[in-house]
A and B are shown apart, each in its own frame.
Chain A
Amino acid sequence: MAKSLFSSSWYRVAELKLKLRRHAQIHRQQFRGETWYVLQDHQTGRFHRLSSSSNLMISLMDGRRTLHEIWDLVGRRAGDDPPTQDEAIHLLAELHASDLLQGELPPDFGELSDRSAKQARNDVMNKLRNPMALRLPLFDPDRWLDLTMPLVRPLFTIYGLLAWLALVGSGIVLAVMNWSELSSDASDRLLSAGNVALIIAIYPLVKTFHEAGHAYATKAWGGAVHEVGLMLLIFVPAPYVDATSSTAFREKWRRMVVSSAGIMVEFSLAAAAMIFWANAEPGLARAAAFNIMVIGGVSTLFFNGNPLLRFDGYYIFADLIEVPNLGTRANRYFWYLVQHYILGITNIDNPASAPGERKWLFGYAVLSFCYRIALSLTIALLVASKLFFIGVLLALFTVFGTMVMPVFKGAKFLFTTPRLQGQRGRAIALTGVGLAALAILVIFIPMPYGTVAQGVVWIPDRAEVRADTAGIVTEILSKPDTIVSAGTPLLRLEDPGISGRVALIEAQRHELQLRYEAVRFSDRVEADVVLEQIKNMDGVLASVRQRRDGLVINAHEAGRFILPKATNLPGRFLNQGDLVGYVVSSATPQLRVIVPQSEVDLVRARTSGVEVRYAGETGKPVRAHVSREVPAAQYDLPSLALSVEGGGTVAMRSGNDSNGKPRALEGLFVFDVSPDQPGQHLLLGSRVFVRFDHGREPLIWRWVRTVRQTFLSRFNV
């Protein structure tokens, strides 16, 4: 519904003569090409954004004109869209709520104390609602900042900026140059116990410089800083300063500099630390420099620089895209969209007024909501793994605050808001249908359910073709990639020495035989000795002959003869036991699949079918069955292709175990899977994706299972 010009309660305010209190100041600012006015309340440090007609109205309030006169004047001057009486009342009510109005009436002390009590209650509630970010104000640094300002003043000039650029630039260059050294097991160094202590010592120091940056930047352009305090972020103390007075700056780049001053300071610290680190000898000082680099360079970018968190990055971003009060308005815009387009409420103001704001607001609302939930749940889980009770409490709190409360509020809105008058039925029906559809989807509709695991095409030991004897390959007797029967000669090797040796030994044996014949009847003792020598020679001869025969490699079993590198094999020397190729006995190769511990139960208990996709042709699933499962968990991988480093999914421990083999972080279970139909071009050792089908199940039970598993694995509950 369109707005009405008149308000039924205008009579209450029409004759009032009000004026703005002295401690309020109005600044003119540009946002997305529109002129706005920012009302600064020097007493509370709060700001109010005014439209130009509101500003006109406030400017006309001189304590002599009545509000009705002012409203008439504004109506005549404001042209197309004079403020309605309701809007005027709303504006005044807001000003009054901030104690910015002065009139001839004495203040209503009851109302004042009521309001301040409510404010105090809200403050406490805010702290309780946000136990992860408590603020403890300490002192007013304004005078100290004034005294020390001359020392840092040169930094806020073009030369200061150039110096900063030079410093940070050289830091970056050094970092790139020393990249390999920097990144080599950085995580190891960072999380070692001794280093954590160092970080705890350095972190507040770096953050103090960071906050000093904000404070001086604010002072540099005439702002005031009246509060310094400690903030407990996830129970970690960090200093903060109140730099809100910079909101009054007219130029947006100044506001941005104030917001980014902290990050800039940390960058320069990091750059200085980089220069030191590159030139210093290993020791405590160098470790400290390394930590400063990490805090000032990396963590700052991800924490302070992140616009989705309400830190520096948020303010920089909001000023950059000229959407003031981005977070709040983004949420409001999102709800506006819901109310306007889904619930069909027409008499609601669009909070996105400036051109081009909508996409920012919408995007920010959605992204920041998801990010916030993910972040707070992560924090809660992290805390819970150390302090179970508090963590679970936090998690419940988060879920309550981000899911339950909005639902409750939404329901209350749906059933009670006067805005829905006349459309409530429709709105409730629509929401109900939506929710019911969602509920049915989640609770009742069975969805395909399966576990996807990776495996490799596995070669059984007996399928390997190895050189029985060392020799040079002379001939490939069977065509590779054909089916051979057992005993078929596959390769011929040649060892020139060995035939000579056979001849030699044969000759020697012959000689002994002759000697035996010679002494057979003359000297019995001698004859027996020679006979033994002949027997020995026979043994040697047999073994050498066997080696000679081994030069022809035969197939042990029937199967497909696979010979990698067949073309460069002839002429190559093979050592005894070298792997030459394979004879894969059956046409259906084994697939060895690993399933992580967390999913093994499901795979064991509820697998109703198995589907295999080969890495080469992921588009063509092949049916298969589990042929063997290993009941015990193991930590070593059948193939390194399955590790994260090899492109798989299994995270490995850094460093090898006592046997020199890499170990997985989590226990793994091995399943051997056989495809029902023979595959065509199987590359041995290649990756396969196996999906264990668990039938169909509604989503809700899966979520329940996941939550239970999370609790089981993390807290042993």
Chain B
Amino acid sequence: MSDAVSTRLPLPVLYAEREVARKAPLEELASGLLAYAVVAGSGRRSRRLANIVPRVNAFDTEFRALSDDALRLRARQASMSLRRRRGFPEDSVAECFAVIRELSDRLSGRRHYPVQLIGAYAMIRGYLAEMATGEGKTLTAALAAGTAALAGMPVHVVTVNDYLATRDAELTKPIYDALGLSVGVVIGGQSLQERQAAYRADITYCTNKELAFDYLRDRIILGQRAGNLRLKIEGLQDATPRSTRLRLRGLHFAIVDEADSVLVDEARTPLVISGEAKGEISANAAREALELAAALQPGSDYLLLSEQKRVVLTDVGRERIADFAEAHGKEWRGVIVREEFARQALSALHLFHRGEEYLVRDGKVQIIDQHTGRLMPDRAWTDGLHQMIEVKERCKPSARRTTIARMTYQRFFRRYTHLSGMTGTARQVAREFWTVYRLPVVTIPTHRPRQRKNLIDRVLADEEAKWRLAVELIADLHARGVPVLVGTGSVACSMVASEHLANAGLPHLVLSAAQDSTEAAVVAQAGELGRITVATNMAGRGTDIHLAEGVENLGGLHVIMMERHEARRIDDQLAGRSGRQGQPGCFQAILSLDDPLVDFAASRTFKNLCLALGPVLGEGPSRWLLRHAQRRAERVHAGMRKDLLASDEKQSRTLAFSGRPE
């Protein structure tokens, strides 16, 4: 490691990232049309990439005979040839792959399968590799990351949580060490120096959130003066140039693990860094506003749109506010100001509830992340809403916070000069990967044929019937010693599952989404004989479930899905928990018409129709209804992402006078 660091060349361009291409007219339309062709070309690309396998194998006999030192020397040579030529020539890549495979074999006995070579080569080529779950994506990523790092590019391997980042880094570190490459890990709670050190490493393992926020903080430092030359001149003339405060070294080569979660699911909400604002709402005005809000009548004065978290004032309500404002101080002057006050007070009273959206701890209002259910002590709502809630909870109002930087994942990942990714489920959003990130999806064949049995979905009339059937089934499986994984959609659902199982006297383990190593350990052991594990989709992601002795003969792990997720992909991820690497397994969904997904306009009618048709047509209509609800959710979320991207681009255009967006 040490010799590599000492010989490392400085980066030719400081804080390099891909120049944002201006959109040509009709580009959007064209890329939308082209996307069909790109998606259709997935199989062809995969076959072409397979050419790498014989070229790597050609080195096999030679490398097996080499000593460790000689192998390392070959790695240095391959590195040189990669650096000398642009664009990852196939022969050099094959040589690198061969070296890394040989090293991995010698260090841990894990020799890359051909499909892993293909997957890694796809990422080197800037594709998104769709590899079935359990195909060893960590090891595949090491192949690509090692090669890119040998080519002199700082590599970011992006995963979904801190545990996975740490684990993957530890798992692959010996290989990088042997190659003379340094590895860094960025997780939550690290200091600036730790982060800088981690990002300075050749290969950095990090989570999408930390990475994007670190980049955003860098952008705040860089501001509008981010040019390569400017930074270099600053480095020459300033004692402490801004570059010393930067965390990253630019956006060069990214490998995004679980790319659909990171690039699609999480791309719905923008990342925001907020700071203290100058103007503030006085506690007095806030108290008055809350008084007013309490006096207003729902229905006649205002309407609550809880789904959109919005309050709409009626004309009657506006008049009442105007009357109220006349009787109060100058802070209430102005139509817009006073209605803003009233709306925020109403939201604070009726849309945000203690215990659901926030908690009060140490006299402070702390937000609960709706996605993970965890507290986020350093976050605050903007535009005075936070203060309003603080006053409502009788806390001391903090300074008003306002946005100081904002970023979307779409904008962020598009700035990488080289973006690649891998995931188990990419097909269904392949078009989006292309239109948004210009990532063509390549479907990599499985190493061994899949042996999972997918049983037909059961859809029951209500929750009670669903759980009755599920518990019966689990008890039966448990009696036979088959390990069962009960997949739920939320922590709350896990709790319900646990209750039902406990009532039936079934021993089981429940996992909430703590995302740590103990959880991973529990998930890893879910394949033990007779084990019952209840987990959300989030829990223990990326962890292999090894089947215990004899389980294979019982039919492998039996996964039962209790709720449909918001996208088919996520259902597939759960199904992917069983039947890894050609092992047997079984997947079954036990659902009910009370599923939270089936909650849209006119859903009541559909439900009744399904119930009425049940005796005649069986569960067919109900299955269709649930699938329809899921498609609807997929469509809604896709729309949200598209809107976010469109509004982001529109804003960039509108705000062109304020310079480049961060």
Contact = CB atoms under 8 A, between A and B. Distances in A.
Interface string B1-44: 00000000000000000000010010000000000000000000
A425 B602 CA distance: 11
15 contacts: A6-B340, A8-B383, A9-B406, A9-B651, A9-B655, A13-B657, A79-B333, A81-B334, A81-B336, A82-B337, A89-B655, A90-B654, A93-B655, A114-B22, A422-B308
Q: Which of A6, A79, A421, A425 has the most CB of B within 10 A?
A: A6
B363 interface: no
A5 B224 contact: no
A294 interface: no
A633 interface: no
Interface in B618-662: 643, 647, 651, 654-661
Contacts of B383: 4, 6, 8
A82 B305 contact: no
Interface stretch (A104-112, A307-315, A388-396): A104-112
A341 interface: no
A8 B643 CA distance: 16
A8 B337 CA distance: 16
Nearest to A78: B334
A421 B308 contact: yes
A371 interface: no
Contacts of A34: none
Interface stretch (B178-186, B371-379, B397-405, B519-527): B397-405
B589 interface: no
B656 A422 contact: no
A545 interface: no
A11 interface: yes
B343 interface: yes
Nearest to A72: B279
Nearest to B639: A416
A108 B227 CA distance: 13
A623 interface: no
Contacts of B339: 2
B312 interface: yes
Nearest to B318: A2
Contacts of A11: 402-406
Contacts of B353: none
A105 B659 CA distance: 8
A108 B643 contact: no
A80 B655 contact: no
Interface residues of A, number: 42
A72 B334 CA distance: 13
Contact of A96 (B312, B405, B406, B656): B656
B25 A84 contact: no
Contacts of B651: 9
Interface residues of B, number: 39
Given A90-B654, A93-B656, A5 B305 contact: no
Interface string A8-23: 1111110010100000
A80 B22 CA distance: 41
Interface in B384-427: 384, 402-406
Contacts of B279: 72
B85 interface: no
A89 B308 contact: no
A121 interface: yes
Contacts of B657: 13, 16, 18, 92-93, 95-96, 101, 103
A111 B405 contact: no
A5 B336 contact: yes
Nearest to B330: A76
Nearest to A75: B334
Contact of B601 (A72, A121, A418, A425): A425
Contacts of B404: 11
A8 to B, nearest CB: 5
B310 interface: yes
A8 B656 contact: no
A68 B343 CA distance: 23
Given A82-B334, A425-B601, A12 B655 contact: yes
B459 to A, nearest CB: 26
B565 to A, nearest CB: 24
A106 to B, nearest CB: 9
A373 to B, nearest CB: 28
Interface in A369-415: none
Nearest to B403: A11
A92 B655 CA distance: 8
Interface string A92-131: 1101100001010100101100110000010000000000
A619 B403 CA distance: 76
B656 A418 contact: no
Nearest to B405: A11
Interface of A: 1-6, 8-13, 16, 18, 68, 72, 75, 79-82, 84, 89-90, 92-93, 95-96, 101, 103, 105, 108, 110-111, 114-115, 121, 346, 418, 421-422, 425
A13 B658 contact: yes
A37 to B, nearest CB: 20
A697 B365 CA distance: 71
Contact of A2 (B343, B402, B655, B658): B343
A422 B308 CA distance: 9
Given A11-B406, A92-B657, A96-B656, 16 more contacts: A2-B339, A2-B343, A4-B383, A5-B336, A6-B384, A8-B383, A16-B658, A80-B334, A81-B335, A82-B334, A89-B654, A95-B657, A105-B658, A108-B660, A114-B22, A421-B308
Contacts of A90: 654
A4 B660 contact: no
A601 B303 CA distance: 63
Interface string B524-543: 00000000000000000000
10 nearest A-B residue pairs (beta carbon): A96-B657, A6-B383, A93-B654, A12-B658, A5-B340, A11-B403, A13-B658, A111-B656, A2-B339, A12-B655
B48 interface: no
B382 interface: yes
B313 interface: yes
A72 B318 CA distance: 24
A11 B406 CA distance: 9
B62 to A, nearest CB: 50
A523 B649 CA distance: 137
A3 B336 contact: yes
B59 to A, nearest CB: 45
B361 interface: no
B655 A82 contact: no
B278 interface: yes
A360 B643 CA distance: 36
Nearest to B661: A12
Given A9-B655, A96-B657, A84 B278 contact: no
Contacts of B334: 75, 79-82
A14 to B, nearest CB: 8
A68 B654 CA distance: 18
A689 to B, nearest CB: 54
B336 A84 contact: yes
B25 A121 contact: yes
A114 B653 CA distance: 11
A140 to B, nearest CB: 30
A108 B334 CA distance: 37
A105 B656 CA distance: 11
Interface centre among B305, B308, B643, B658 (most CB of A within 10 A): B658
Nearest to B313: A2
B312 A4 contact: no
A82 B336 CA distance: 8
A345 to B, nearest CB: 12
Contacts of A346: 312
A532 B658 CA distance: 130
A2 B336 contact: yes
Contacts of A13: 655, 657-658
Contacts of B402: 6, 10-11
Contacts of B403: 8-11
B340 A4 contact: yes
Nearest to B384: A6
